[in-house]
Structure 1
Amino acid sequence: MPRIGSGIPLVGRRAELAALESALSAAADGRAGAVLLAGDAGVGKSRLLAELTARAVAAGVKVLTGRCLDVERAGLPYLPFVEALGRLPESGASRLDDAMEQLRLFEAVHTELADLSADSCVLLALEDLHWADAATRDLLLFLVSRLNRQRLLVVATYRVDDLYRRHPLRPLLTELGRLSTVERIDLLPFDRADAMAFVSALSDGGLADETLRGIAARSQGNAFFCEELIAAYDTAVPTGLSDLLLARVERLGSNARLVVRAASGAGGEVEHSVLQAVAELTDLDEALREAVQHNVLVTAERGYAFRHALLREAVYEDLLPGERVRLHSQYARVVTSPASLAYHALQSHDLPTAFKASVQAAEEAVELRAPAEALHHVEQALQLFGAVAEPGVSEYSLQRLASRMAQAAGDSDRAVAYARSAIGLAEDPETGAEARHQLVLTLIPLETASAEIAAAVAEAWDLVCDRPLSVTRARIIALRAREWAWYGSAGLDIDELERLAEQARDEAVQVGADDVAVDALITLAVYAEWRDRAEEAQGLYRAAATTAAEIGAYAVELRARNNLAVNLYMQGLYQEVLAVVTELIDRAVTVGLAWSELAVEARVSRMGIAFNTGHRAAAEALEDHSTAPRWASMRLEAAALYELAIAGRFDEVDEATARIMTYSDDANIVGRVRFARAEAALWRGELREAVDECLRLIASIADAPRASVTKARRAGALAVGALADLAEQAWRRGDDDAARDAIAEGERVHELALTEGEYSLDHQWREDMRNPETACMEARLDAELNRLRDDVDVELWRVAVAKAATFKYWQASARWRLGEALINDGRRDEAIVELQAAHAEAVHMGALPLRKAIEALARRARIGIDGEEPDTEDLFTPRERSVLELVASGLTNRQVGERLYISEKTASVHLSRVMAKLGAASRTEAVSVAYERGLLD
């Protein structure tokens, strides 16, 4: 028998093992950390981890191990932690509405690990994180984010090649990557020398060198492929990996093959007793021994597992459809987990059992604070509902639960769809009102459904207004107080709205609905803001967040924290905003609401603050958050696009916007995409497209139920700036009519930007006008209008620079324009100061188009901006420059020759030399390149 990788000394991997041992040594010294061990399937992650754990055990380290399993799309919640710790602390949870129990669970696991590491170092090894369920991912992030002085090292492995674009592990990897205590090790395939050494050790001298070289080459450095090729070397080696994997199985005896095929249906590790019941073999031990000896199965803590997941998949796929049905039917008779029973019953077409188990699995996932898993199971139950004669649960309750779980998991579209369905299934006025309440909560983030929101609130109130006091009635009154301010009855003044919120609070207190009372308090804080009592509102928000956390009303808590962040943002307190949104995100992750609407918007805010302060973190979100739920992913992706645009990554902007606009009409998403497209078009020189995008933005802002003064002015500033460039181009080519048209349009856009987006309620208008970003954009809008009129006012641009003090990109671009105005005014020394500052910020932010524009302006003005003297030597001869300038004015070669009193052929020769010096392929490109390089005015 050939030896397998676990039976030989570790080959290669010296650097990776040294890094792991260094991390373990640091943990032993009280510097806790985590290592993410990443690599393709079969590359040797488990072997390297086994080497580390063996050395750790020899050094007296406590080693805890757990493995994630692939159970269709819904993993078993917390499975690797259950394996590692033996059990999870009692959660005592009863329902997801009371998510405090998840926090207690997380804290209990954290405390248990801290206690274990009190007297000796602990190594927590978690394998196959790419199969981790959402609950496991949340718990892991909670633990790792709290690593500090514990004597604890967490090592987690995952397959890189399994991480497709929308894989749910990607967001977790992004969050972990931000933590200073986390290190990532990428395990690459063996190089040629190590692959040869590995297959030589595997063969133990039993194969010729030529055969070994062939195996090493064919394996492409993948350790698992090496093992499989070695194991099957004496058979006709299949061309496909599946055949290669099955070659080893075919060498087993009939009983061993039967056991292996039976084990493939388990989906992961299978206990001896379960396998005995499924395989129905009298001599199971002998068959298992053969399978283990041939390295098809390995012994595990609670039974047996395949040596590699790819091998299990190959065996399972080789079963005939009827064999699979019979196999799952046998498993369904012996498994005890509701999730496993639901899976096996469904695969064996036992629909009543699958339905019942799916409902139980959903309830179990709710208790474990795993909304994504709960949604999977409740959706499965809904699919089976019509096929069950006596379901024992109403379709209404399943639809409403599905909406709540989809909302908690960050799947907005499905949350809305299920909420709408639940309304039609409501059984009485109370459930009808509750269903409409749920619908409104799912529609609020979309900001495009004001009519539906107003109708749903009105219908809900009609259903309960004449009924006795109840939790539902109090909840609907609180909803009216919150939403009527925006959607329902704009004619109500603040006094009326406050009375409504106070009524909701009072009735909630009477019926013991503490979460509703706190929610009403948040609404009262909003009205305090509108009365210009910002500090009072902040105090109310903080108090509401604390109370909501204490009673487990986590959605209410997130609303309070979000409103506090908005309050602080309007005052320009961005570092305080950053602290609040970071805490909001941490809390959302902790309580199982990581991808809820407010948690996603908090991430957007965090990216926005990073951008405003001159950092380049936002663009990473295009990749880092692409695997969040679709709605959340699109919001984050759209928020990252503006930074891509100012970085000059236009192709990426085009690709992302085309995809996003195909699937979403969400107002926030569409608005962010349009701003990015306008900015990209501006720098591309597609000025008309930039103006049109801005006009579409302004129109959408005017139609929005919650219009934004800030966005209207920002869109106006972009549009007027683009029209100023269009007018300049028209003047340059002598098209006076086009220039005057651009000026007239710019003046209309300026007026639109100042008037569109006004609120019908004065307090809302005042709140937006206090926003420092509004002042920044208004100053920019006025300065751009002045530039459009070709009456550049230096002082207007100085104001624009000053108002943009906390918005680094907009300040840099305003400095660029200020420098241009100063040059035109003959004030070169002042211009140098502004252009140098603008250039340094553009370089720091990676704003490549702005950087190039500043450099082009400096070259044209012969100004040094990077510490060097400007280059005053002309690239062209005097005659070449004359030819280029005349070509730029639109003359043909013949006309150029006539103007310069040279032949057409000579003019063509000079132009060819100009094109060669510029690397241009055409006369048009030559003019464009010369202008961009500052060689042509």
Structure 2
Amino acid sequence: MPRRDGISLIARGPELGALRETFARAAGGQAGAVLLGGDAGVGKSRLLAELLDTADATVLTGRCLDVGEGGLPYLPFVEALSRLDRSLLESRPVLGRLLPGIAAGEPDTGDQASERLRMFDAVHGLLHTLSRERPVMLALEDLHWADASTRDLVLFLLSRLGAQRLLVIATYRTDDLHRRHPLWPLLAELTRLAAVTRVELAPFGRADAIAFVSAIAGGELPADGIEAVAERAQGNAFFCEELIAAHRSGTAATSGLADLLLARTERLGPDAQRVVRTVSGAGYTVPDATLRQVSEMDENRLEEALREALRHNVLVADDDGYAFRHALLREAVYEDLLPGERVRLHAGYARVAAAEGTAAALAYHSFRSHDLPTALAASVRAAARAEQMRAPGEALQHLEQALQLWEVVPEPDKLTETDEITLLHRASVLAGAAGEPERSVGFARSAVAKADLGDDPETSAAARHQLAVGLKTFGTLGEEMSAVAEQAWDLVRDRPPSTTRAEILALLARRWIWTSHENIDVPALYSYAEQAMADARQVGADAVEVDVLVTLGVFAEWEGRTGEAIRIGQEAVRRAAAIGAVEAELRARHNLAVHYAVEGRFPEAIRTGEENCRRGEEIGLAWGDQIMHSRADLVYLLYLTGHWDKALTTAELPAAPRLPWARVSGETLHVLTGRGRFEDAERLAERILELAPDARTKVVVDLAMAEAAVLRSSYDEAVARARDALDGLTAPARPALIDAVWATTVALSALADKAHTGGTRDIAAGAELYAEAASYRGRLHDTHSAETRILSARMDAELSRLRGHDDPDLWQVTLDRAADVPYWQAMASHRLAAALLAAGEREEAEAPLRAAYETATRLGAVPLRDAVVALARRARLAVGAPVADDVLTPRERSVLELVAAGLTNKQIGARLYISEKTASVHLSRVMGKLSVTSRAEAVAVAHRRGLLPDTPTR
């Protein structure tokens, strides 16, 4: 059920399922209780509301209020029971002691224990009576504020749960339960009861938080804004909503959120508040010794203050020191500090950091305390230290701060012993390593502009080389890359050999990256490679020499010498690892995996890709260009080889920057569509294109969604998406032939299916698409890859099927070539069986049909499995266990058959002797059962699933 604002429940499926199971048992006569805990705002009430709104039960709800231990006894029970019919309550006079307005009926005996027991028993009896007529759900919210009497009544009721049709659900805030909170003993007692289940509702994970924020924002936030809100809220649903509201109002945080958070600290005593404010200035976990120095408090006072802050769950402690329970709470406290108070705090932390020699902390606190020269020098040192620790993201942050201070600090070059161009170059390299190519290009452009103000051509050339490297990631900026590379070469062409000159020559040897294939001069590329190798050897640039070796391996693959390419790649990996040339090592191993895949040695390609991803993580380059491509290729190879579950888990990158996440996630779309998870695929595709709207990513998405459209029998959509993919191949300088062949194959399959189910046989459109793919074959270098060979055979077979011939021999060729690609092999087996059946060879069709069924079942490829079952049913062949997909009633099937024959609802009604309205109702039910939205789609899906007899083709 959606909320009042229309947002459906997100990411709480397992918890909601558990609650519904518990209620189902209670409705069957096995009473139970659930203690639902979680931090304030995490979504307990939302989850409870979802359950209450969908349960067929008598629902009684009441909540506790924060009025102290002594006030408003039994408040949630008073609120819950007061909603019942008055006569029902008056039948138990003792309830008059509990409910206002109900006469007690009997005098008080004066024995308080006895009177309370009678009242408790009356409540228990009332709920038992109600549950005889209908299951009862009693919801008690905010039990952390319950008074002692309420807690006693809860214990009484839950300890007497038995055969009643009753479910009690009590919610409480875990972050309000300090160590001495009175609810702890009750929770401990209740948890021991067999009928009681305790559920802790955790904050959203990153992916779920992003989905929640995206749904709440309703398109008002850009992708990076959605991620920022999700990160700051740390999975808390209420904080997500408040931060979105803050965005709408243009403030850092809404007053409601700030007030809620600060209210937690205002309960503390003065010393505890002082400690909390001191910790807020740190920005990280504060070691005990640091806190003692900065707070300047007496040791005993400090420890008592810390105990109080910990007891009230404002701070948490671990072996490293003290931190806030939630980052937003720290932000609220920090924002509440007076300006002078902040400066003094940061100055105190800076003194400690200087004494300890921790550059990162010194850079942060010096900047915040306005000591800018110290902040600049410390930022440069901190960046160097982070680079040594293989932490490019952290190093980049420090360099950004240094660059921010460069113009405002006197003599920055003397202070830091470096120059601004060097810092900009390093920042560009680090941004690329951190998976942020746009920022990498931005820093590189600034470095070029600064370098051109000087008179050193080598420096200007090096800056342009880095800019070209940054532009390479996008793959669609060929003209600019070409211009930048040529400018770099012009600057050093007539200069003596140097590392910079060798690097530029090595880059020019790879100019196929930005040059259209019609214009590639392969002998010129060899010449650049040879010059780069000679320069590198002369100046001892070993890393450049290895990089050129990798390029020579690419040339060998182009020329069909894949075995030689593999040997070159293996040698390049060994040499790069031996000299510590990590970038060259990653490129060499990535290309080696590609060479293995081209030759069809998929297990070796997967193993090499996995090794490269591990190596990238080890050296802090997990999000760089090479590892991004390695991981995306790895997911794709796992899809090809039928390891679909592993493909999905390999693509789970919760902490990845947006471009690597989008590129890698795009490869999982093939798995999702193959398994029939079309809605998941659509949502993911939309998200991917939000984060990475580049041409390469769009081609991947269009291909996958074209496949999905075929499987959903949306043939025109499939052709359109395949056409989009083909059109998208004109954007990159080096499109992949496999994409052209794949898109054409999918489009031909859609056209053939459309014709087979009674649509127009558009042979001309198919021939045009086939000719376009053939034109790519003549222009691109990857004609001999294993995947291209498989898809080329399938493309020929699909064209034959579209023309009405459906040649079994062509499908047999596809089947033979796809021996190592299970899903494609199963698709070919299915098509081969269909072709054999059409040719009257029923016995020969049984084996490929059974093989297709077994593979589709193993992969979880539900649409293909359904198509195989439908074909077997029509041919009266047994391929495996029956699939329960005949969901239509005889009347619904009759209506659908007449729809397939082209009759209107009025004509169907006349034919079946029912009204036009009744025919429409039957058709609506059919469409709902088949999960379609149109008459044509209903016919197509029913035919594919074998729910209709074959429709003659036109």
Structure 2: which amino acid aligns with 1:380? Answer: Q
Question: Is this contact kept in 2: 1:812–1:839, CA < 8 A?
Answer: yes
TM-score normalised per structure 1? 0.69
Could you say which residue in structure 1 is the equivalent of 2:486? 458
Q: Shift of the alpha carbon at 1:841? A: 1.3
- 1:316 shift after superposition: 4.0
Residue 305, structure 1, aligned to residue 330, structure 2? no
| CA distance in 2 between partners of 1:533 and 1:725 (Å) | 39
Question: Aligned ranges for residues 778-789 of structure 1 at < 5 Å?
Answer: 778-789=792-803
Alignment partner of 1:230 is 2:181: yes
Residues 837 and 469 from structure 1, CA distance in 2 versus in 1: closer, same or farther, beyond 3 angstroms? same
Cα deviation, residue 669, structure 1: 1.4
Aligned residue number for residue 409 of structure 1: 434
Answer yes or no: is the 8 Å Cα contact 1:862–1:872 preserved in 2: no
Question: After the TM superposition, which residues 240-279 of structure 1 pair with which residues of structure 2 at under 5 Å, given as runs?
Answer: 250-252=267-269, 254-255=270-271, 257-270=273-286, 274-275=290-291, 277-279=293-295
- CA 322–726 in structure 1, closer or farther in 2 if over 3 Å, else same: farther
The residue type paired with residue 278 of structure 2 is A
Change (3 A) 1:335 1:905: closer
Q: 1:671 to 1:829 in 2, by over 3 A?
A: same
Alignment partner of 1:724 out of 752, 777, 782: 752
Moved more, 563-572 or 865-874: 865-874
Q: Tell me the distance in 2 between the aligned counterparts of 1:268 and 1:912.
A: 62
Q: For the Cα contact (< 8 Å) 1:405–1:415, is it kept in 2? A: yes
Q: Secondary structure at the match of 1:267?
A: coil
Post-superposition shift, 1:497?
A: 3.2
Gaps of 5+ in 1: 1-38, 44-191, 234-238, 732-738
How do 1:139-158 and structure 2 match up within 5 A?
A: none
Matches within 5 A, 1:545-584: 545-584=573-612
Inter-partner Cα distance in structure 1 for 2:437 and 2:893? 60
Q: What is the deviation of 1:231?
A: 8.6
* CA distance in structure 2 between the aligned counterparts of 1:561 and 1:41, rounded to whole angstroms: 46
Match of 2:200 in 1: none
Residue 299 (structure 1) shift = 11
Indicate yes or no: 2:878 matched with 1:864: yes
Deviations 1:370-401 (A, max 9, x none): 11110111122233334334322533222211
In structure 2, what residue type is equivalent to 1:225? D
**Partner of residue 420, structure 1:** 445
Shift in Å, 1:633: 0.6
Corresponding residue for residue 827 of structure 1: 841
Corresponding residue to 1:390 among 411, 419, 423:
411
Rate the CA distance shift 1:466–1:484 in 2: closer, same or farther, 3 A: farther
- Structure 2 unaligned residues grouped into runs of 5+: 1-36, 42-138, 159-167, 185-255, 950-954
Shift of 1:305: 2.6
Cα deviation, 1:482-522, whole Å, max 9, x if unaligned, reads 32686399767545433432222222122121111222222
Q: Say which SS state the counterpart of residue 487 (structure 1) adopts.
A: coil
Letter matched to residue 262 of structure 1:
T
Structure 1 residue matching 2:866: 3-state secondary structure? helix
- Decide whether aligned partners of structure 1 residues 868 and 484 sit closer, same or farther in structure 2, where only a CA change above 3 A counts: closer
Q: Distance in 1 between matches of 2:514 and 2:938?
A: 55
| 1:754 matches 2:754 | no
Q: 1:266: Cα distance to partner?
A: 2.5
CA distance in 2 between partners of 1:781 and 1:387 (Å): 64
Residue 535 of structure 1 pairs with residue 556 of structure 2:
no
- Go from structure 1 to structure 2 and tell me whether the alpha carbon gap of 1:818 and 1:213 turns closer, same or farther (over 3 Å shift): farther
Please state whether the residue corresponding to 1:266 is helix, strand or coil: coil
Q: AA paired with 1:799?
A: V
Q: Deviations over 1:877-905 (max 9, x none)?
A: 8xx9776544432224665688x6x8x55
User: Matches of 1:461 and 1:567 in 2, distance apart?
Assistant: 30
For 1:657, the equivalent position in structure 2 comes to 685
Equivalent-residue separation in structure 2 for 1:915 and 1:696 (angstroms)? 32
Note the C-alpha offset of 1:232: 12
CA RMSD, 1 decimal = 4.1
CA–CA distance in 1 between the matches of 2:170 and 2:302?
29
Equivalent position of 1:625 in the other structure: 653
Tell me, yes or no, if the aligned pair for 2:856 and 2:862 is still in contact at 8 Å: yes
Distance in 1 (alpha carbons) for counterparts of 2:422 and 2:564: 40
- More off after superposition, 817-826 vs 710-719: 817-826
How do 1:93-242 and structure 2 match up within 5 A?
208=148, 210=150, 220=171, 223-227=174-178, 230=181
Query: Percent of counterpart pairs with the same letter?
Result: 40
2:873 corresponds to 1:852: no
TM-superposed CA distance for 1:320, in Å, is 3.7
Query: 1:41, CA displacement in angstroms?
Result: 7.5
Tell me what 1:399 maps to.
424
The structure 1 residue matched to 2:341, chosen from 300, 317, 323, is 323
Q: Are 2:715 and 1:697 aligned?
A: no
Q: Which moved more, 1:466-475 or 1:696-705?
A: 696-705
Distance 2:861 2:309 in 1: 56
Q: Taking structure 1 as reference, are residues 291 and 344 closer, same or farther at Cα in structure 2, changes over 3 Å only?
A: same
Q: Deviations over 1:267-292 (max 9, x none)?
A: 345456644553345xx223213224
> Partner of 1:890 in structure 2?
902
Residues 587-666 of structure 1 mapped to structure 2, 5 A cutoff:
587-617=615-645, 620=648, 624-666=652-694
Task: Answer whether contact 1:248 1:296 (CA < 8 A) is retained.
Answer: no
2:440 partner letter: A
Alignment partner of 1:756: what SS? Answer: helix
Q: CA deviation at 1:463?
A: 0.4
Relative contact order higher in (CA < 8 Å, ≥ 6 apart): 1
Question: Does residue 365 of structure 1 match 2:386?
Answer: yes
Cα separation, partners in 2 of 1:422 and 1:209, compared to 1, 3 Å: same
CA distance in 1, matches of 2:340, 2:565: 65
Match of 1:356 among 371, 377, 399: 377
The change in CA–CA distance for 1:916 and 1:214 in structure 2 (over 3 A counts) is: closer
How far the C-alpha of 1:777 sits from its partner, in A, is 0.8
Distance 1:722 1:676 in 2: 13
Match of 1:32 in 2: none
Distance 1:805 1:321 in 2: 70
Query: What whole-Å deviation, never above 9, does each CA across 1:656-706 have from its counterpart, x for those lacking one?
Result: 222332343433312211111111222223222211221222233355422
CA distance in 2: counterparts of 1:886 and 1:273, whole angstroms: 83
Deviation string 1:689-727 (CA, Å, 9 cap, x unpaired) is 211221222233355422322221111111111112233
- 1:594 counterpart SS class: coil
CA–CA separation in structure 2 for the residues paired with 1:882 and 1:41:
55
Q: 1:843 to 1:40 in 2, by over 3 A?
A: farther
Separation in 2 of the partners of 1:910 and 1:251? Answer: 70
CA, structure 1 residues 357+933, in 2 after alignment: closer, same or farther (shift >3 Å)? same
CA contact 2:722–2:743 (8 Å) conserved in 1: yes
**Counterparts of 1:642 and 1:707, CA distance in 2:** 19
1:480 maps onto 2:508 in alignment: yes
How big is each residue's C-alpha offset from its partner over 1:732-759, in whole Å with a ceiling of 9 and x where there is no partner? xxxxxxx25x221111111111113532
Q: 1:739-782 deviations in whole A, cap 9, x for unaligned? A: 25x221111111111113532xxxx63xx222121111111111
Counterpart AA for 2:177: C
Distance 1:919 1:820 in 2: 29
Indicate if the aligned counterparts of 1:856 and 1:934 stay in contact, CA closer than 8 A. yes
1:205-243 Cα deviation digits (max 9, x unpaired)? xx946458899999946654321682999xxxxx99986
| 1:174-220 CA-partner distances (Å, limit 9, x unpaired) | xxxxxxxxxxxxxxxxxx99x99xx99xx9xxx94645889999994
| Distance in 2 (alpha carbons) for counterparts of 1:872 and 1:270 | 64
Q: Structure 1 residues 797, 263: CA separation in 2 closer, same or farther (over 3 Å shift)?
A: closer
Q: 2:817 aligns with which of 803, 820, 823?
A: 803
Residue from 908, 931, 937 that aligns with 2:943:
931
Deviations for 1:291-331, whole angstroms, at most 9, x for unmatched residues? 24536499989996358567766654543444323322332
Aligned amino acid, residue 291 of structure 1: A
Contact preservation (8 Å) 1:797, 1:814: yes
3-state secondary structure, aligned to 1:724: helix
**Shift in Å at residue 435 of structure 1?**
1.2
Change (3 A) 1:508 1:671: same
The equivalent of 1:139 in structure 2 is: none
Supply the distance in 2 between the matched residues of 1:816 and 1:694 (Cα, whole angstroms).
22
